[in-house]
Amino acid sequence: MKTGSRLEKVLEKGAFAVTSECGPPRGADPDVIREKGKLLEGVVDAVNITDCQTSVVRMSSLSACLILKEMGFDPILQMVTRDRNRIAIQSDVLGAAALGINNILCLSGDHQRFGDHPQAKNVYDIDSIQLIMTVKKMRDEKKFLNDQEMTKAPVLFIGAAENPFADPLEIRALRLAKKAAAGVEFIQTQCIFNLDRFAEWMREVVDMGLHEKVAILAGVTPLKSVGMGKYMKSQVPGMDVPDAVIERLKGVPKEKQGAEGIKICIETIQRLREMKGVRGVHIMAIEWEEKVSEIAKGADLLPRPKV
């Protein structure tokens, strides 16, 4: 065991981990975070705080992490390389560790073209894999990127995302191997709707032995409606929603589509749990946090282990 991370402890214990996420508000109100937090109490091992997702300005991930930490959660600080250079990144990593944050998720971030400030200059001093390398170097070598020693190393459990559905498909497992080589310890995947494709990716990952180096948490998202399914299929880059899933939602009356979406999500988790190498799930209930506990319960993931 390297860090104070609850997620790391759960994984070390061999339990099937559960994480979820919480998007900070577009304002300075801390109660929004607290209310979202309450919905997740006792349901997850750790909770991600997004970092200006889709390039829309929101309360900083680190601040929201601290609010959740005060409530007793083990937050996962998401950090994108879009908005920070290596000076700001290393500074924020030190700050997060000093505040008792135990987990970091290293991302490149959505391009600002999608966000609410498309006029912004992007940074991309380093990329997501290089961010993994940076945090690992700081933690394990106690050194900054310039090789100078620091007084106290930031002890963080290092995570990253991977999208098994993005093109080109044939390099997706190889890219995970690069992240593993860079030092990543857990992975949360893009939302899985296409289980066949995911199983194929997972097989490659297992063949390469990556599942032993990296804990893979499979990402799931409950669909609220046919409309949401269609939107994710056509408008969200790198998202693979098979027609069969949309057809299944279409098969029930509109007011029952949400319930059917949750049912699909639970069945997905059950199938993922049986796949070799899958060590947990990451439930992303987009602006539907109140359903996470229902999903976790339905998938027989409660109560969470004490560590």
Partner 1 sequence: MIVAQAKPIEDIVTMIDRYDKIILAGCKACVAVCAAGGEKEVGILASAITLARKRDGRAIEIREVTLERQCDPEYVEQIRGFAGDYQAVLSIACGVGVQYMAEHYKTIPALPGLNTSFMGGSLEQGVWSERCQGCGQCILHLTGGICPVTRCSKSLFNGPCGGSSKGKCEVSPEMECGWQLIIDRLKALGEFENRFTELFPIKDWSTSRDGGQRKITREDMKA
* Interface residues toward partner 1, by CB under 8 A: 82, 86, 108-111, 113-114, 122, 124-130, 133-134, 145, 161-163, 166-168, 171, 174-175, 177-178, 181-182, 190, 237-238
Smallest gap from Cβ 34 to partner 1, in A, equals 31
Under a CB-based contact definition with an 8 Å cutoff, are residues 27 and 42 in contact?
Answer: no
Alpha carbon distance 118, 67 (integer Å): 29
Smallest gap from Cβ 102 to partner 1, in A, equals 25
40 or 106: CB nearest partner 1 = 106
Q: Copy the structure tokens of residue 70.
A: 């005060």
Q: Copy the structure tokens of residue 178.
A: 């690069």
Under a CB-based contact definition with an 8 Å cutoff, are residues 218 and 279 in contact?
Answer: no
171 or 259: CB nearest partner 1 = 171
61 or 134: CB nearest partner 1 = 134
Smallest gap from Cβ 137 to partner 1, in A, equals 10
- Cα 132 → chain centroid: 14
Smallest gap from Cβ 121 to partner 1, in A, equals 12
109 or 159: CB nearest partner 1 = 109
108 or 225: CB nearest partner 1 = 108
- Cα 262 → chain centroid: 19
Smallest gap from Cβ 187 to partner 1, in A, equals 12
77 or 177: CB nearest partner 1 = 177
Written as one string, the DSSP assignment of 86-142 is HHHHHHHHHHHHHTT--EEEEE----GGGSS-TTPPP--SS-HHHHHHHHHIIIII-
> Count of CB atoms within 10 A of residue 29's CB?
12
Residue type, position 35, single letter: E
Smallest gap from Cβ 123 to partner 1, in A, equals 9
Closest alpha carbon to 40 in 300, 292, 306, 215: 292
